[in-house]
Amino acid sequence: MRDDLIIRRETPDDTAATEALHDAAFGVPEGRSESVERELLRGLRADGSVIDELTFVAELDGEVVGHVVCSRGSLAGEPSVGLGPIGVRPDHQRQGIGAALMMAVVASADQRAEPAIVLLGDPEYYGFFGFVPASDLGIGSPGEWEDRYFQAKPLRAWRPQMAGDFRYAPAFDRLG
């Protein structure tokens, strides 16, 4: 990872850069004007679901090259954290930027006494950060994904009695 990488909280001035970053990182499907991730990000922001203290950008030489957003979901009816989207500009991928963003989220969520972070993603990648299939913790998936892709990381505040069904922020349900 580069020594000059800065991880900082997202500000309103980062909106255009982060939206363009997700389009570049994930691609814009044919017939769409934006990536699904950008649509999700805009929905999360419009709904007020973004957890500002857990949403970060990675900056190199004054340019936003990575971004992670966390939003308020619910676990067994109690507030919980859903992570995603997370993206790194294609010309800066595989340099540890995504890992630095993940570590910032995990450390900050733990410090805020969040019980767990939930995400949908590659078990090989996220396993490195301590994520396990959410079902192993008794967390029910809100979708029809294989167990290994719907993952959670229990933090220090986690207690097994907190288990239950997880619901993402409403913007996730509106994705087409």
- Please state the pTM of the whole predicted model: 0.93
From the list 91, 73, 90, the residue with the least C-alpha distance to 82 is: 73
Q: Structure tokens of 108?
A: 């900050």
How far apart are alpha carbons 127 and 139 in whole angstroms?
A: 17
Q: How many residues does the chain have?
A: 176
Q: What angle do CA 20, 151, 27 make, to 5 degrees?
A: 20
pLDDT (tens place) for every residue of the chain, 176 residues total: 567 899 999 999 999 999 999 999 999 999 899 999 999 999 999 999 999 999 999 999 999 999 999 999 999 999 999 999 999 999 999 999 999 999 999 999 999 999 999 999 999 999 999 999 999 999 999 988 889 999 999 999 999 999 999 999 999 998 86
Q: What is the pLDDT of residue 145?
A: 87
Scanning the structure block, which residue is given the tokens 């255009």? 16
The answer, yes or no, to whether the previous bond of 115 is cis (omega within 30 of 0) is no
Q: What is the pLDDT of residue 2?
A: 65
